[in-house]
Structure 1
Amino acid sequence: MTDRPDLAAMISPLSRALIDAELPVLHEHGLSMWAYSVLLALDERPLRTQAALAEAIGADKTRIIGFLDDLQRKGLIERTPDPADRRARVLSLTAEGRRVRDSAQAGIRRKEERLLARLSPEDRRGFLRALRALAALPPEEIAGA
């Protein structure tokens, strides 16, 4: 006996639909989903290594090198030698990278607003509060719960 579907059964179709809605916005900005994830992860703070970036976005560190090369070629990120460890690279956004990220994010948020407008203001606040709380949990805590 169940009073609701499993969380994954509800979230997975929603997640796929949100990604499908984001893709045209990202393509308009010349970004893939992984490239956009990199721009979001770098935000206003540089990351010290490609491995740290890969961990932050949940990617294999060998898979993101091509995305980093492309973002650097486009002038959206910089990879500079780490003064503390010359073998490592510090990754950071350029001004153009911030502009592209902000523009893409604004387009995505406009699409999200159409979806969120279907909720009452109270439900919307509660939904976003709960989603933030659950998204902040470490994966091992979710898996082990």
Structure 2
Amino acid sequence: MPDVAETERADLGAMVMRLGRRLLAMEQPILERHGVTMWAYVVLTGLRDGPARAQATLAAAIGADKTRLIPILDDLQKRGLIERDPDPADRRVRLLGLTPEGRRLQGAIQADIRAAEELILQEASDREAFVRALGELSR
């Protein structure tokens, strides 16, 4: 028989959705201040650890539709934040990577987001356990 406290708590999905909405609302002004959309930031973060071999590879890694990713990549390239260079091993494929300015911008946005997250995490009684559990469950 389930514990009464266990049956009276909100479902995990409901709690995660409320937290997700709160985090998105917190991040939106930060992204606007830096002049990027959420998807542009996701792309910059997806390329942070090294180049991606092909747009389809990046799209799969970040959970984006590859056809909807093209205008985002075009904009980031036009702004000098990413490069799309031919792959020497296969000239039909483009290697996607951050420029130094793209790396700087991604780091600045992430620092601002992490600072804002700290304010939210102050409300958690055991923030380290929360962040660890969230990381484990989101893999």
- Normalising by structure 1, report the TM-score: 0.89
Tell me which of 130, 134, 138 is aligned to 2:133. Answer: 130
* Runs of 4+ with >4 A deviation: none
Tell me which of 2, 17, 23 is aligned to 2:22. Answer: 17
Unaligned runs of at least 5 residues, structure 1 = 137-145
Tell me which of 30, 49, 57 is aligned to 2:62. Answer: 57
Q: Note the 1:1-145 alignment, pairs <5 A.
A: 2-120=7-125, 123-136=126-139
Counterpart of 2:23, as a letter, is L
Q: Partner residue of 1:139?
A: none
1:97 is displaced (CA, Å) by 0.2
Name which one, 1 or 2, has greater alpha-carbon Rg: 2
Residues in 1 aligned to 2:132 and 2:83: alpha-carbon distance in whole angstroms? 34
Cα deviation, 1:28-56, whole Å, max 9, x if unaligned, reads 11100000000000013100010011111
Report percent identity of matched pairs: 57
Residues in 1 aligned to 2:110 and 2:62: alpha-carbon distance in whole angstroms? 16
In 2, are the aligned partners of 1:44 and 1:93 still within 8 Å (CA)? no
